[in-house]
Amino acid sequence: DVADEAAMVRVREEIRRTHGPLHGIFHCAGLIRDKLFYLKPPEDFEAVLRPKVQGTRVLDRVFCDPSAGAPDFVVLFSSITAVRGNPGQSDYAFANAFMDAFADARREAAVRILSIAWPLWRDGGMTLTDEELEAWRAHTGSEPMAEEDGLLALAGALAGPDHRVLPVPGRRQALEAALGISTSRSPEKLRAPLPETPLKHSDETTAPTSATGGESPEALLKATLAWLESVVSTALKLPGGRLDAQEGFVEYGVDSIVALRVIKDLEDEVGALRKTLLFENSNLEELAECFVREHEEEMRRITGLAAEAEPVPAEPEPFQPRPTPTAVGPSEEPSPSPAPETSLPLLVRQWGPGRAELDDLFDRMQQGTRSEFSVSLGTPGIAPFAFIGSSRRGYFNVNYDKRSLMAYAYTGEDGAFEETAGELAAHCDEQGLALNILTESRLERIGDRPMTATPFGAMQRLPSLSEFALEGRAMRRLRYMVSHFAKQGEARTVEFHCGSDPATALAVAGRIDAWVQMKETANPFILDVKTLILGGTLPRRYRVFLTYLDDRLENAVL
């Protein structure tokens, strides 16, 4: 283990005892564990960093003391990933970038330290299909390095004066495009700003149009999802209809190379795409929403759906929260308005400066509110402490493009919370924003819209619970929760009608208790449901599916 300092000391002494002076070191150790950053456990991240980060520092301490017979050079085997990045390899890119930076930091040291950022090796352990190789070329602009070319590059790097070298075979134009550099541009211009995703919002809202023709957004999304399912299934060599739109790509074996192959197939139809799309969007459903949002014109062309008729501009009506209602008796004068602390929503801005469109939207939503600029909301500990010792009765979190835009804290009277929520929800609909609500009170509807509450858990929306069945293609996540038991023995799943069998109800309650004990946090409403099941009073609007494995109750889906 190159990161084990005591072991490296023993290696040093064994080399000197057996072979005499040590003249050079090649640090080739490395490890990859490809996975999305937010899915990568800390131990995996640390394991990938260990040989290249700690290992490099250990070699420097153990071998590079000039007073103790240091070598002439140390070559660090870095990777092009440090320069180009690669989906699913944030830790590997970081580890190799550390090697490059370490060589820079030691450029004046007595022992020469050279970092070589190698590309993919043609004859290495990582073999690619022709399709994967083509995707690699498109992503990096490079060709796999032949062994003889690599040895020549190594000899040239050792003979040269540089401390960091990136030997890459390939066409210069493709390499420059992939690496974002150009020999014809000055160094000052190499770091170009990243393009910003335009906010689909203007100073005009739209009034209803009576024009006919065109397809609804729902139809376009459904058609886009079907097209993507076909393309991704082909790229993964899976039969059509096998992909669950809500199952993560990682569950189907999509790694960084496969992701590039899928992106290439999509680019053949749509044009240039971000190479990280399958990591930014974790499943087919999210990917379809992204394509409809960012490539609507191409999706309508590919799916054959006509474009919507042009909307008719209408004058915008800025959002104006209503003041807290004040009770007035027959002979009473209205009481004075409460102080701003308790009467106006708190507006928290969570978006950085420099986006004119968002600044305009923020200013218009800010009318009639007391504003406070902060990024303190949204911490992992918000739920236990959101309401304790506070006049706040609820929080409204406004999202654009799955990113938090701003948050309101409601500090008015309880009776006006639902009305305020309704006005804000209507405004968010007009502006193309998503609204999430956190409140202590039970909130099942806003106006004529049903609300779904998920305080501490996961769920899946069912458009029609009464029509749901465990067969078919749609809503497969619930079926996956029970299908894996079939691989363990004789499994069967049945629907349980509450009140029909007290013994079964007791067994279901036991499964609920066991499940809650395994969780760090659980939706407290589940305990209410357990009480209703035990009492045989669970309303008919609930449905319960039980899975038995060899006649033992193993799972309950509520």
- Per-residue pLDDT tens listing for the chain (558 residues): 989 999 999 999 999 899 988 999 999 998 888 777 767 788 889 999 999 999 999 999 999 888 778 898 999 999 988 888 877 788 999 999 999 999 999 888 889 999 999 988 877 655 566 766 776 777 677 788 888 888 989 998 998 888 999 888 887 777 777 776 655 444 443 333 333 333 333 333 333 333 333 457 888 888 898 888 888 888 777 776 778 888 888 777 777 677 777 888 888 788 878 777 777 777 888 899 889 988 888 888 888 776 544 444 444 444 343 333 323 333 333 333 333 333 333 333 333 344 454 555 555 555 544 333 322 233 333 343 445 455 666 777 787 776 667 777 777 776 777 888 888 888 888 888 878 787 766 666 777 776 655 443 344 555 566 666 666 554 455 565 566 677 778 888 888 998 899 999 999 998 888 877 776 656 666 777 888 899 888 887 788 888 888 888 888 888
| 3-state class (DSSP) for residue 238 | coil
Inside any domain, residue 471: yes
Same domain for 106 and 220, yes or no, is no
Inside any domain, residue 205: no
Rg (CA), the chain: 30
Inside any domain, residue 326: no
What is the model's pLDDT at position 11? 93
Distances (CA, A) of 55 to 48, 75, 110, 117, 175: 11, 13, 20, 17, 30
Same domain for 135 and 43, yes or no, is yes
DSSP 102-117: HHHHTTTSSSEEEEEE
What is the model's pLDDT at position 59? 92
What is the model's pLDDT at position 205? 35
Residue 255: give its domain's CATH number: 1.10.1200.10
Name residue 80's amino acid. I
What is the model's pLDDT at position 480? 59
**Domain span at residue 395?**
340-450
Same domain for 169 and 270, yes or no, is no
Same domain for 422 and 504, yes or no, is no
Distances (CA, A) of 280 to 222, 290, 383: 20, 10, 26
Is residue 66 within 8 A of residue 22, CB to CB? The reply is no
What is the model's pLDDT at position 305? 76
Residue 74: give its domain's CATH number: 3.40.50.720
What is the model's pLDDT at position 139? 66
As for how many domains the chain has, the answer is 4
Same domain for 254 and 286, yes or no, is yes
What is the model's pLDDT at position 209? 33
Last residue of a domain, one of 450, 485, 509: 450
Last residue of a domain, one of 189, 221, 251: 189
Give every CB contact of residue 102 below 8 A, 6+ residues apart in sequence: 56, 57, 60, 76, 113, 115
Q: Please state the three-class secondary structure of 370-410 as a single string.
A: EEEECCCCCCCCHHHHCCCCCCCCEEEEEEECCEEEEEEEE
Same domain for 84 and 112, yes or no, is yes
Is residue 116 within 8 A of residue 82, CB to CB? The reply is no
Inside any domain, residue 204: no
Same domain for 430 and 531, yes or no, is no
Same domain for 238 and 358, yes or no, is no
From the list 369, 375, 367, the residue with the least C-alpha distance to 351 is 375
> How would you classify the pairing of strands 73-79 and 24-27?
parallel
d(CA 141, CA 345): 52
CA atoms in the 13 A half-sphere facing the CB of 97: 12
Same domain for 219 and 147, yes or no, is no
Same domain for 181 and 240, yes or no, is no
